Structure 1
Amino acid sequence: MPTEQRVMSRQKIGGGATSARVVPPSQEAADPAPKSRRRLVLLVVAVVVLAAAGAAAWFLLGRGGGEEASAPEPTVEAGEVAQVEAISINLADGHYLRLGLGLQLTADAHDPDPSRALDLAIAQYSGRTVAEVSDPATRDALKTELAQRLAEAYEGEVIDVYLTNYVTQ
């Protein structure tokens, strides 16, 4: 089979200059268009990656230097500690917990009514097992939760709670 060769020119017909090149038929289909498409795709992918990285940095690292750092919460001046008389609380399986509390008040707090503190403590500890109230980690978690409830009940006048009597039977 004879090989056919075609002459292709980069200039328009009648353009004047006669620079021509000979292209074999096997390379005729290879057009520069796929290279330009590949470059365009790479350029679009690079722009998308840079935009995603910029958005991620903006969301994760903050919204820029224009915002001020959050102000620290004002510290509350501690006042006196109000003693709450110890009570016996029923636990599960016929056991008891003898619980005494000390309420750390703010400096501007007035004489709090201890009945709210006792009511919250009874609700917090009643029906628990001896193992639960004896475990140090659980005891600390229960105390922290009680302190939060007391702060809400006394509208910020109680800032902490101390366990002054803690005996299980």
Structure 2
Amino acid sequence: MATDQAAAESKGKAKKGMSRSTLLIIVLLAVIVAGGIYFFLGRGDSSSAGAEKEEVHLGVVVTLEPIFINLKDDRFLKLGMALQTTHEGGGGGHGGHGGGGPDIDGAMALDAAIEVFSDQDMQMLSTNNGRSELKEELVARVVEGYGPEITTIYFTEFVMQ
């Protein structure tokens, strides 16, 4: 009888052990599935909401003719720029054939470039930090002058001599 009782106890423990491990597997699977659903659905909602808030429609890039700017010590800078607009369509501001494009006069941007870069030291313009700092100042002046229709400036030529 003692052996029958011991066998019954071991069967009971085996059933309890089996049910605990099965329960543990089910809980782990549920956590993994819930994490997957959160990752795919929750993350997609937040990224699309963020995209709607920060959405800026980039339009035509208006390329301006290069200009020469006097630097310190009888040096000069040949600077070519392009303005990123929010306007869609062609034309580019150069009397394009398609019409419907932005009619942006680049004189204000060129004037701002002359003000920012005139009499600068060539050593400052030779470093990435120096160029970036002056470009930020130029972008701020151009955006202030043109308003929200210009989003940024690209340098198409930057030659120092």
**What TM-score do you get using the length of structure 2 for normalisation?**
0.58
Give aligned-pair identity as a percent: 38
One-letter code aligned to 1:148: A
- Unaligned ranges ≥5, structure 2: 1-51, 89-100
Within 1, Cα distance between the matches of 2:127 and 2:139? 18
Within 1, Cα distance between the matches of 2:53 and 2:135? 23
Taking only aligned residues, the RMSD between alpha carbons, in angstroms, comes to: 2.0
The Cα offsets for residues 34-85 of structure 1, whole Å up to 9 and x where unpaired, read as: xxxxxxxxxxxxxxxxxxxxxxxxxxxxxxxxxxxxxx85422000100010
Paired position in structure 1 for 2:117: 125
Structure with the bigger percentage of strand: 1
The Cα offsets for residues 111-163 of structure 1, whole Å up to 9 and x where unpaired, read as: 21110010000000000011011111110111122112111110111101000
Paired position in structure 2 for 1:88: 68
Q: CA deviation at 1:110?
A: 2.4
One-letter code aligned to 1:79: G
- Higher RCO (C-alpha 8 Å, min separation 6): 2
Paired position in structure 1 for 2:104: 112
Within 1, Cα distance between the matches of 2:55 and 2:72? 39
**What TM-score do you get using the length of structure 1 for normalisation?**
0.55
State yes or no: 1:155 paired with 2:135. Answer: no
One-letter code aligned to 2:80: G
Structure with the bigger percentage of helix: 2
One-letter code aligned to 1:76: V
Q: Name the SS of the counterpart of 1:101 in structure 2.
A: strand
Larger Rg: 1
Task: Tell me how many residue pairs correspond in the alignment.
Answer: 100
Q: Return 121-130 or 99-108, whichever deviates more.
A: 99-108
Q: How does 1:67-106 map to 2 (within 5 A)?
A: 73-106=53-86
One-letter code aligned to 2:111: D
User: Which ranges of 4 or more aligned residues in structure 1 deviate by more than 3 Å?
Assistant: none
